[in-house]
Structure 1
C-alpha cells in the first residue's frame, strides 16, 4: 500500500507575516523621512502625526502647509477605502491577500520613485509624491489592521505599542514583561527613519523611494499567510 503524500498548504510557504510586518514598519520610517524631510513637513505614512501637522498649518505655524497635509490625509483615506475592498475580495487566503496588498504598494511607491527621478522638485511633483505614497500607506494599513496580528496591527504608528510595552512591563503591571514584537517594531521604525533620513539628505529623493519599492516587491513574492 502507498500512503498518499499530503499536499503542502500554500499558506505556510514563505516568510511569516510577523517578519513581513516588521519589514513594512521599517519601510514606514523610510516613507515618512521622504515625506517630512523632502516634501515640506508632511507625513504620508503616520496619519497621527499628519493630523497634528495639519493643525499646526491651520494655525499658521511657519514651515507647514494645509494643502500638503490635507492632500496626504485625503489620499490615505482613499487608499484605506480601496484597501478595505482588497481585504473583502481576497480575505479568504491571507497569502494571496497580502501579496496583492504588497504588490500594490510596490507599484505605487515605484511610480513615485520614477516621478522623483524624472521631475525633481516642483509643485506638481510634490503633490504627486504625497498622493502616491499616502494612498499606498492607506491600502497597506487597511489590510494590516484586518490581519489582527497581536502587537503588529499598525505599521505606521507606535503610540499604542509603546504604551503597552511600558505599562505591561515590570515597570507597570507586569502582565507582559517580555514583548519582543513590540521592541522589534519600535526598532524597525527607528532604523527605517534613520536610513530614510540619511538617503534624503545625501542622495536623490528617488533613491529611498526606490529602496522602499524594491523591498515591498520582494516581500510580495516571499510573504506567506502564517503568523
Structure 2
C-alpha cells in the first residue's frame, strides 16, 4: 500500500499576510513623518504629497520652511523609487515573498542607519541632511515596491484616496462599505504612528523613533509572506 504524499506547502504563504505587513508599515510611515516634520525642519520624507505643498510654501518664502531641505527629500525619495523600480523589474516576476522581504530589509538598514546617525551626532551640521536622505530614500524604495504589489487601499504613506473611498462607499455614500475595515485600519495605523512618533520626538529626540521604525521594518522583512 502506497503512503499518500503530504501536500507541499507553498513557500509564498509562509508568514504574515501582506495586509498585516502593510498596515505595520503604515505605522512606520507615521513615525518617520513625525521625525521629519517635527525634527528636521517641517519637511516630509514619507508623504510626498505634503512635501510638494511644503516646497511651494518654501518657494514662496513662507517662514519656517526650507527649499533645500524639501528638495533634498524629494530627490532622495525619487532616487529610492528608481531603485525600487529596478528591483521590481528584476525580482517582481519571481517570488513575491522574497522580493518584499528583500526591500523591507533594505528599508530597515537605511532607517537603522538614520537612527545611528541621530544617536551619534545629534547636533552635527550634516545630521539633518543625512536623516532626510536616508529616510526619504528608504520610503521611495518601499513605495515603489508597495505600488508593484498592488494591495488595494494600502499605499502605506498617503491616505487621500483611502479616505475618499471610506466616505464615498459609506452608508451616506453609495452604501457598499467596500473594504471599509481595511481603510479604517490604514487611517488608524497612520494616525497612531504619527502620534507615537510625535511623543517620542518631543520626549526622547530623533534616534528612538527611528530605531523603532527600523525594528518594525526589520521584523516585517523577516515575517512577510507573499499572499495578500
TM-score higher than 0.5: yes
* Secondary structure of residue in 1 paired with 2:205: coil
Q: CA RMSD in A?
A: 0.9
Structure 1 residue 88, shift from structure 2 partner = 1.4
Aligned counterpart, 1:44: 45
Aligned counterpart, 2:121: 119
* Secondary structure of residue in 2 paired with 1:123: coil
Aligned counterpart, 1:186: 187
Structure 1 residue 177, shift from structure 2 partner = 5.6
Aligned counterpart, 1:17: 18
Q: Does 1:102 align with 2:104?
A: yes
Deviations 1:147-188 (A, max 9, x none): 111111x11010000001001111112233661000000000
How high is the TM-score relative to the length of structure 2?
0.97
Q: C-alpha separation between the residues in 2 aligned to 1:101 and 1:225?
A: 13
Q: C-alpha separation between the residues in 2 aligned to 1:25 and 1:45?
A: 10
How high is the TM-score relative to the length of structure 1?
0.98
Deviations 1:77-120 (A, max 9, x none): 00000001111122111100110110010000000000001110
* Secondary structure of residue in 2 paired with 1:14: coil
The verdict on how the C-alpha distance between 1:119 and 1:94 changes in structure 2, with shifts beyond 3 A counting, is same
**Unmatched tracts of structure 2, length 5 or more:** none
**Aligned partners of 1:41 and 1:63 also within 8 Å:** yes
Q: Does 1:53 align with 2:54?
A: yes
Q: Choose the corresponding residue for 1:135, options 129, 134, 137.
A: 137
Q: Does 1:72 align with 2:73?
A: yes
**Unmatched tracts of structure 1, length 5 or more:** none
Aligned counterpart, 2:174: 173
Q: C-alpha separation between the residues in 1 aligned to 2:106 and 2:87?
A: 10
Q: C-alpha separation between the residues in 1 aligned to 2:147 and 2:169?
A: 22
Moved over 3 A (4+): none
Q: C-alpha separation between the residues in 1 aligned to 2:178 and 2:76?
A: 38
